Amino acid sequence: MQNITQVINTKSLTKKYKDFTALNSVSLTVEKGNVYGLIGKNGAGKTTFFKVIMGLTEKTSGDININESDDLNAGRSKIGFMIGVSFFPYLNAYKNIEYYRRMKGINDKKETERVLKLVNLYDVKKPFKAFSMGMKQRLGIANALLGNPEVIILDEPINGLDPQGIIDIRKIIIDINKNYNTTFIISSHILSELDLVAKKYGIIDCGVLLKEVEQKELHKQRSKSTIIELDKTDKAIQVLEDNGIKYTIKDQEITLEEFYFNLLGGGRND
């Protein structure tokens, strides 16, 4: 039996909407059992990439391989995904997941209990409309876990969450990846948080995959630079120059993600 190591592989994947290019020749590889972080600002192309992978929108050109096969229907059947959260507001967690279990044709009635326990929502009785944002996201992950898929795609799972909600999502991802060897592809614009779970990263901007980088390489690059915020730069510049230290002055605030774009040699200069 073939030992599959690549669960997702794209080559020159492109998606255009008339004159707008949402994905521009994206070539990306996700290995089995990995947690892959897709990093980019809002509008960078992360959600579009996921929708093309799942067949929710058609590609314009390029190739997609799932489990090293061109049979996309078979491959997609082994992927669970959370792209947005949509549930019946008047139903509780159990009844919402039970509905989706039936919709997905999963006969095992214990599956609803299994996935709700994985996200710590099994005993929650209140309706979905009374859920916190973190609970809603966890229910979305439970839905993605139905059927025990080999790959889970999560689109911005920690967006808008408070610190405890972020910790809860992080623990779920780490536990499921470890206990089930489930492959995760997670998009976010918060690199510092993904750094706690992801083992490989793809940095995307304006539909272009700027670079893929392993966690160890990212940490190595990260150690080469330091950002210092100052009210007055004159004295600091003098100290740096006196000691022969290279520096770059940023006149405007940049995000942590933009800093890493530049640090890894793929950033923009605008």
Please say if the pLDDT value at position 41 is more than 50: yes
Cα distances (Å, whole numbers) of residue 40 to 114, 133, 206, 259: 33, 22, 9, 12
Determine contact, residues 96/115, Cβ cutoff 8 Å. Answer: no
Max mean pLDDT among 84-88, 176-180, 210-214, 218-222 falls in 176-180
- Residue 37 gets the label, from left (phi > 0), alpha (psi -120 to 50) or beta, of beta
Q: What kind and span of H or E run contains 253?
A: none
CA distance 202 to 182: 19
Return d(Cα 177, Cα 35) in angstroms, integer: 8
The mean pLDDT value for 11-25 works out to 96
Give the confidence band of 246 by pLDDT, cuts at 50, 70, 90.
low
pLDDT band at 253 (very low <50, low <70, confident <90, very high): very low
Phi-psi region of 146 (alpha: psi -120 to 50; beta: other; left: phi over 0): beta
Q: What local confidence, expressed as pLDDT, does residue 1 receive?
A: 46
Section 149-170 average pLDDT: 94
Residue 136 has pLDDT above 90, yes or no: yes
Res. 170: pLDDT tops 90: yes
Percentage with pLDDT > 90 across the chain: 70
Over 90: is that where the pLDDT of 260 sits? no
State the Cα–Cα distance between residues 189 and 205, nearest whole angstrom: 11
pLDDT at 218 over 80: no
Q: Cα(250)–Cα(252) distance, rounded to whole angstroms?
A: 5
pLDDT confidence of residue 263: 46
**pLDDT given for residue 223 in this prediction:** 55
Lowest mean pLDDT among 91-95, 105-109, 163-167, 261-265: 261-265
Average pLDDT, the chain: 87
- Provide the 10 A C-beta neighbour count for residue 199: 15
* Cβ proximity of 137 and 85 under 8 Å: yes
pLDDT digits (tens, 9 = 90+) for 66-96: 988 889 999 999 999 999 889 999 999 999 9
Provide CATH code, domain 6-222: 3.40.50.300
| Residue 103 pLDDT level (bands cut at 50, 70, 90) | very high
Is residue 62 packed enough to be buried (19+ CB in 10 Å), middle (13-18) or exposed (0-12)? middle
Strongest mean pLDDT among 111-125, 184-198, 213-227: 111-125
The model's confidence at residue 248, banded by pLDDT at 50, 70 and 90, is low
Question: Nearest-CA neighbor of 191 among 38, 15, 62?
Answer: 38
How are strands ordered across the β-sheet holding 208-214? 79-82, 151-155, 183-188, 35-39, 200-205, 208-214
Write out the H or E segment, with its range, that includes residue 127: none
